[in-house]
Amino acid sequence: MERTPVGIILNGVTGRMGYRQHLVRSLLTIRDQGGVPARDGSRIWPELTLVGRDAGRLAEIAERHGLSAYTTDLDAALADDAHQIYFDAQVTAAREKAIRAAIEAGKHVYTEKPLAEDFLASLELARLAAAKGVRNGVVQDKLFLPGLRKLKRLVDGGFFGRILSVRGEFGYWVFEGDWQAAQRPSWNYRAEDGGGITLDMFPHWHYVLEQIIAPVTAVTAVTATHIPERVDENGGHYRATADDAAYGIFELAGGIVAQINSSWAVRVHRDELVEFQVDGTHGSAVAGLRDCRIQHRGTTPMPVWNPDLPVTEPFRAQWQTVPDNGEHDNAFKVQWEAFLRHVVDDEPFPWDFLAGARGVQLAEAGLRSAREGRRVTIEEIPR
């Protein structure tokens, strides 16, 4: 079958996300499957150039996967007309500069979240991309996860009646790094390196709430650095300068209240690492990454508060499982396919830099709310 090659610069491919989710689970899988069908009957074929700081590690990854193109010279890669797309999965703090250069070079840009470290920089990137006329997108993977797709299906089908509230619980214990290695990179715990759970997770909560439930109009947050000292990848002790927990209340359009806890200092007593409970007048749902369970008003029990008696109902057993009703592919891959079709076939791609900027705006508002001890309203960004 005829191929439509698309040259993609992949920066940050030695990292956790860049390697596993974007290179292996998305782009190499797309190649294994013969590319993405294009409108003209050809297959969109990702031609990959790996970019990073360490030539040895790039060479090793390239060899492992039968790739030949890699370089430590981003400017040279950007200057090459064979590349149409720049993708960034670097540490957050390195992103803005590289994306600016990519836009300047006329590349379409797709990037991990958060788009930049602050809202103004994010808006500026959106403005620059629009002025240059390049396609742009930000990873919003949670939207493509089976659990959240089922939740969206329930909303679209009117299952909830009037939605009242959302409660989200995200997190797990990230080891301090002394007696067991930390399972997240140490930059996440240093504010000066772009770390912090608010900047990491509020952009996710922003698009989940906005696109599945309703737009966010205000935030009240309390943040904490519960673990003040950690041990890094080289065994060195360092001071954690960034927040490792954020307790947020999000007011949504239509009077809906969402409360989401995010923490790297919590132990999991849940079915999944993130769960959202949505309560509506006609029914409720609990959605995780994969599963979604529901309770309709007609099957809602009538608990009576009596601490003198043991629990009278098997509450968890009273929920029904929402069926898959279709195949759910890797979330990152699904969004990559959409971005490739956006570039090649001009298919719509709503998860653009402006959407990414709104996520950073919420993170910044959350941090300000915590710092100043007050509720912060979210200004609408004019298009």
Between 102 and 139, name the residue whose CB sits nearer to ligand NAD. Answer: 139
For residue 323, give the nearest of 150, 155, 154, 158 by alpha carbon: 150
CB of 301 to ligand NAD, least distance (A): 36
CB of 264 to ligand NAD, least distance (A): 12
Between 274 and 294, name the residue whose CB sits nearer to ligand NAD. Answer: 274
Q: State the chain's maximal CA–CA distance in angstroms.
A: 74
Between 86 and 159, name the residue whose CB sits nearer to ligand NAD. Answer: 86
For residue 48, give the nearest of 37, 34, 62, 59 by alpha carbon: 62
CB of 33 to ligand NAD, least distance (A): 22
CB of 331 to ligand NAD, least distance (A): 9
349, amino acid identity = F
CB of 148 to ligand NAD, least distance (A): 12
Between 240 and 294, name the residue whose CB sits nearer to ligand NAD. Answer: 240
Between 16 and 162, name the residue whose CB sits nearer to ligand NAD. Answer: 16
d(CA 117, CA 33): 35
* Dihedral angle sign, alpha carbons of residues 206, 209, 212, 217: negative
d(CA 344, CA 40): 10
In the complex, the residues that contact ligand NAD under the rule CB under 6 A are 12, 14-18, 52-53, 89-92, 94, 112-113, 139, 141, 185, 200
For residue 138, give the nearest of 207, 193, 213, 74 by alpha carbon: 207
Report which residue's Cβ sits closest to ligand NAD. Answer: 15
Between 194 and 280, name the residue whose CB sits nearer to ligand NAD. Answer: 194
Cβ count within 10 A of residue 242? 20
CB of 162 to ligand NAD, least distance (A): 31
Spacing of C-alpha 215 from chain mean position = 17
| DSSP per-residue letters across 183-234 | SS-GGGG-GGGT--HHHHHHHHHHHHIIIII--EEEEEEEEE-S--EEE-TT
Using omega within 30 degrees of 0 as the cis cutoff, is the peptide bond preceding 114 cis? yes
CB of 158 to ligand NAD, least distance (A): 30
Contacts of 62 (CB under 8 A, 6+ apart): 50, 68, 69, 70
* Dihedral angle sign, alpha carbons of residues 340, 346, 348, 352: positive
Between 114 and 248, name the residue whose CB sits nearer to ligand NAD. Answer: 114
CB of 145 to ligand NAD, least distance (A): 10
Between 92 and 361, name the residue whose CB sits nearer to ligand NAD. Answer: 92
